Amino acid sequence: MKNSYFPGCNLKTDAKGFEQSAIAVSKALDAELVEMPEWNCCGTVQTMTADNLMRRIAPVRVLSRASKHVKELEGSQNSVTTLCSMCNSTLKIVNAEVKENPNDLEKINFQLENDDLVYEGDVQVKHFLEILRDDVGYENIAKKVTNPLEGMKIASYYGCMLLHPDKAKIDDEEMPTVMESIVLSLGAEVVDWPYFKQCCGSYHIVDRDDIVNSQVAKIIRNAKKTGANALIVACPLCAYNLDNQQLELEKQGVEKDPIPIFYFTQLMAIAMGLPQKVNHFEDNHINPKPLLTELGLIEEKK
Amino acid sequence: MSYDYIEFGQTEKEFTSKIEEISGQNIFSCYQCGKCSAGCAFSNLMERTINQTIQLVQLGQKDKVLESNTHWVCASCMTCTVRCPREIDVAAIMEAIREYTLRYEAETIERLDLPEDLLKKIPNIALVGGFRKKSEL
């Protein structure tokens, strides 16, 4: 099976480890992610206004090109896959909106005429977690595990965009299980904690890092209290906020003993014994290697 | 205890309708249960809670709504939206108040002046998101 894959901007910059580990994992599980051609930024945050079509053009353009790609890609289902949860949310919401409002879609399509493409509202958007749950299946993930993550106690951090709003959610918004199920199939321990979708402060990092810091402190304290030694995320912005701001809090003397932040695909790659270079751990702010070495999950090259 | 005297005329009604138009929501659906504010991760940082803000929008009290930091502290996580028992897209109302300011009172917004090293460091989705929500760009 192949999946048309929309990377989004961050997967090529700060989150290379997320993209490359996901691609490696997808190949190993016979659900390969194949990058779609000529993609553009989806706009990151979907507009919640009722009257602004301009902000909906970029996602529709992505969808129209994805629709072309899935037709050309052999063995592909009629869906485009995302890794970043903000892209997932933006594309899903706009996809649902234009299906509900054909008049809006017609106006947006008029803007795409230079592309010689029109979008017919015919493609689905899926997050890679949905592919893993619905198409691959947890038991098939477990079968590929050669290096079970024994000793890891993982708090799954969904953040907001995987679960909100109804149009974009990938699982139950108050009691999701998809990340926990993957953690279990990798042989790690699941931590049950209430802060799984407490917002990290998101884009406030640009000018109000005080807001982000207070959120990160709450989230991390709760994770530690429940015994977690690592967090998994599916969003490059959650990752940055939780990772970098923990170090910031340490500098300020507010928090100590930061815990590493992983993309869920990085842990899958380790558990499945894939080459370590796909994880790009050098981009992590809190070095995750000491924990992994201590638990005997990776060998530190001297 | 003291009571504020409020104006309620055509100007006030126009503000209410504008917020309804931008958000596409019926603001009068709100019956002040307070669930949005109770579940909001940022309530502790807001000068007015979300349900108080919504009531002021119902009453068209533009100045009071815009002077509070409530809509700027909102991070669009949409927890309120998914929990509202009246099925109001509460986050869209916060967005509409931001948009109102950006569209009609942009001169009151402080420019985002970001240091070079921060620009190099933070993820591009933070920058795009931040600028889309907080500036008229």
Rounded Cα distance between A181 and A73, Å, is 30
pLDDT above 80 for A255:
yes
DSSP-based three-state secondary structure for A48: coil
State the total domains in chain B: 2
Contact yes or no for A44 and B78 at CB 8 A: no
Q: What is the DSSP letter of A83?
A: S
Structure tokens at A43: 């706009």
**Co-location of B81 and B60 in the same domain:** yes
Arithmetic mean of pLDDT, B120-128: 91
Asked if A86 has any chain B CB less than 8 Å from its own CB, the reply is: yes
Chain B residues with CB-CB distance to A44 below 8 A: 125, 128-129, 132
Would you place residue B135 in the very low, low, confident or very high pLDDT band (cuts 50, 70, 90)?
Answer: confident
In a domain, B122, yes or no: yes
CA-nearest residue to A208 within chain B is B73
In a domain, B1, yes or no: no
ipTM of the complex: 0.92
Contact yes or no for A45 and B42 at CB 8 A: no
Which helix (DSSP H) or strand (DSSP E) does residue B67 occupy? helix B62-67
Rounded Cα distance between B12 and B124, Å, is 39
pLDDT above 80 for B86:
yes
Longest distance between any two alpha carbons in chain B, whole Å? 52
Cβ neighbours of residue A73 under 8 Å, at least 6 residues apart? A2, A4, A34
Ordered alpha helix ranges (H), chain A: 16-28, 54-72, 85-100, 102-111, 128-130, 138-143, 178-185, 209-225, 236-251, 264-271, 289-294
pLDDT at A48: 95
In a domain, B2, yes or no: no
Q: What is the DSSP letter of A229?
A: S
Asked if A194 has any chain B CB less than 8 Å from its own CB, the reply is: no
Nearest to A267 by CA among A162, A169, A132: A132
**Co-location of B115 and B85 in the same domain:** no
**Co-location of B21 and B53 in the same domain:** yes
Percentage of chain B beyond pLDDT 70 is 99
**Co-location of B47 and B114 in the same domain:** no
> How would CATH label the architecture of A2-130?
Up-down Bundle (1.20)
Rounded Cα distance between B71 and A48, Å, is 13
Chain B residues with CB-CB distance to A202 below 8 A: 75-77, 126, 129
**Co-location of B67 and B132 in the same domain:** no
| Segment A241-253, tens digit of pLDDT | 999 999 999 999 9
pLDDT at A259: 97
Contact yes or no for B125 and A8 at CB 8 A: yes
pLDDT at B114: 86
In a domain, B43, yes or no: yes
Cβ-contact B88, B26 below 8 angstroms: yes
Minimum-distance CB partner of A164 among B45, B81, B125: B81
Nearest to B77 by CA among B126, B41, B43: B41
Rounded Cα distance between A179 and B112, Å, is 36
CA-nearest residue to A216 within chain B is B41
**Co-location of B29 and B47 in the same domain:** yes
Asked if A13 has any chain B CB less than 8 Å from its own CB, the reply is: yes
**Residue B93 belongs to a domain with what CATH number?**
1.10.1060.10
Question: Which of the residues A48, A101, A211 would you substitute to probe the B interface, choosing the one with the greatest number of B C-beta atoms within 10 Å?
Answer: A48
Structure tokens at A178: 């998809």
Domain residue limits, chain A: 2-130, 145-294
pLDDT above 90 for A301:
no
- Comparing B137 with A277, the larger pLDDT belongs to A277
In a domain, B134, yes or no: yes
In a domain, B97, yes or no: yes
How many other CB atoms sit within 10 Å of the CB of residue B40?
Answer: 26
Contact yes or no for B122 and A205 at CB 8 A: yes
pLDDT at B2: 78
**Co-location of B126 and B99 in the same domain:** no
pLDDT at A147: 97
Distance from B9 to chain A by nearest Cα, in Å? 25
pLDDT above 60 for A302:
no
Q: What is the dihedral sign for C-alpha A271, A274, A277, A280? A: negative
Average pLDDT in chain A: 95
Contact yes or no for B81 and A214 at CB 8 A: no
Percentage of chain A beyond pLDDT 90 is 96
Question: Which of the residues A19, A44, A208 would you substitute to probe the B interface, choosing the one with the greatest number of B C-beta atoms within 10 Å?
Answer: A44
**Co-location of B97 and B136 in the same domain:** no
Cβ neighbours of residue A246 under 8 Å, at least 6 residues apart? A216, A220, A255, A258, A259, A261, A285, A286
In a domain, B34, yes or no: yes
| Residue B89: domain span | 10-104
| Segment B50-61, tens digit of pLDDT | 999 999 999 999
**Co-location of B75 and B116 in the same domain:** no
Cβ-contact A155, A228 below 8 angstroms: yes
**Co-location of B116 and B76 in the same domain:** no
Quickly name the fold that domain A145-294 has.
Answer: Rossmann fold (3.40.50)
pLDDT at A43: 92
Cβ-contact A4, A62 below 8 angstroms: no
**Co-location of B19 and B77 in the same domain:** yes
In a domain, B3, yes or no: no
DSSP string, B34-46: -HHHHH-TTGGG-
Rounded Cα distance between A214 and A155, Å, is 19
pLDDT above 70 for A149:
yes
pLDDT at A247: 97
Q: Which residues pair with A2 in a beta bridge?
A: A32, A76
How many residues are recorded in chain B? Answer: 137
| Segment A32-59, tens digit of pLDDT | 999 999 999 999 999 999 999 999 999 9
Contact yes or no for A160 and B99 at CB 8 A: no
Asked if A140 has any chain B CB less than 8 Å from its own CB, the reply is: no
Contact yes or no for B126 and A206 at CB 8 A: yes
**Co-location of B84 and B128 in the same domain:** no
Contact yes or no for B75 and A163 at CB 8 A: no
Longest distance between any two alpha carbons in chain A, whole Å? 62
Cβ neighbours of residue A298 under 8 Å, at least 6 residues apart? A270, A276, A289, A292
Q: Which residues pair with A76 in a beta bridge?
A: A2
Question: Which of the residues A86, A100, A204 would you substitute to probe the B interface, choosing the one with the greatest number of B C-beta atoms within 10 Å?
Answer: A204
